[in-house]
């Protein structure tokens, strides 16, 4: 298979990973590692008999997009330390859905205050090893 790239729409090198969004001639826009958001969303939702209320811990809106593909989902809350509405419009476009609420604040506090309220909780966080290891250590 050959992939002909028309344009690099977004290129960013952060301290933790490279972000690359490409426009291809035959496949449209491609995000590096496009399977990640689908796997993190669809597997837990498929394992619940009737997911209506979902919390997604962090992210840019891509997991929200995938969660909203499930007809049973009525409410999605995205607790986040900052609003991501303006970073990658393709990813964050469904944050404006009436089913979605972005809660800017401490996600752990949000969950503690809403214990037992949600059917599925999806954590979109870093691995406890590698560059984000310090996030999982005691101060």
In this predicted model, what pLDDT tens digit does every residue of 76-121 receive, in sequence order? 999 877 655 545 666 778 888 999 998 888 888 888 899 888 999 9
Residue 25 pLDDT exceeds 60: yes
Is the overall model pTM greater than 0.75, yes or no?
no
Q: Is 53 exposed, middle or buried (0-12, 13-18, 19+ CB in 10 A)?
A: middle
- 102 φ, ψ to 5°? -95, 120
Average of pLDDT values for 38-62?
A: 89
Whether residue 72 is predicted with pLDDT greater than 90 in this model: the reply is yes
- The contacts of residue 100 (CB under 8 Å, 6+ apart) are 64, 68, 76, 77, 78, 94
Rounded distance between C-alpha atoms, residue 116 and residue 35, angstroms: 29
Residue 45 clears pLDDT 80, i.e. is over it: yes
CA-nearest of 28, 60, 56 to 44 is: 56
In percent, how much of the chain has pLDDT > 70?
75
Cα–Cα distance between 14 and 100 in angstroms, integer? 28
Q: What mean pLDDT is reported for the chain? A: 80
C-beta separation of 60 from 21 below 8 A:
no
Identify whether the C-beta of residue 100 lies closer than 8 Å to the C-beta of residue 76: yes
d(CA 38, CA 44): 10
């Amino acid at each position: 298979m050959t992939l002909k790239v028309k344009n690099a729409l977004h290129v960013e090198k952060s301290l933790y990973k490279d972000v690359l969004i490409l426009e291809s001639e035959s496949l449209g826009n491609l995000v590096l590692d496009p399977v990640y958001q689908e796997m993190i969303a669809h597997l837990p939702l498929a394992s619940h008999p009737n997911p209506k209320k979902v919390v997604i811990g962090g992210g840019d809106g891509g997991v929200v997009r995938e969660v909203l593909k499930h007809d049973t989902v009525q409410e999605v809350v995205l607790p986040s330390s900052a609003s991501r509405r303006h970073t990658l419009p393709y990813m964050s476009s469904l944050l404006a859905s009436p089913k979605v609420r972005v809660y800017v604040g401490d996600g752990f506090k949000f969950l503690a205050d809403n214990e037992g309220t949600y059917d599925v909780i999806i954590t979109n966080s870093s691995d406890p090893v590698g560059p984000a290891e310090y996030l999982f250590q005691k101060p």
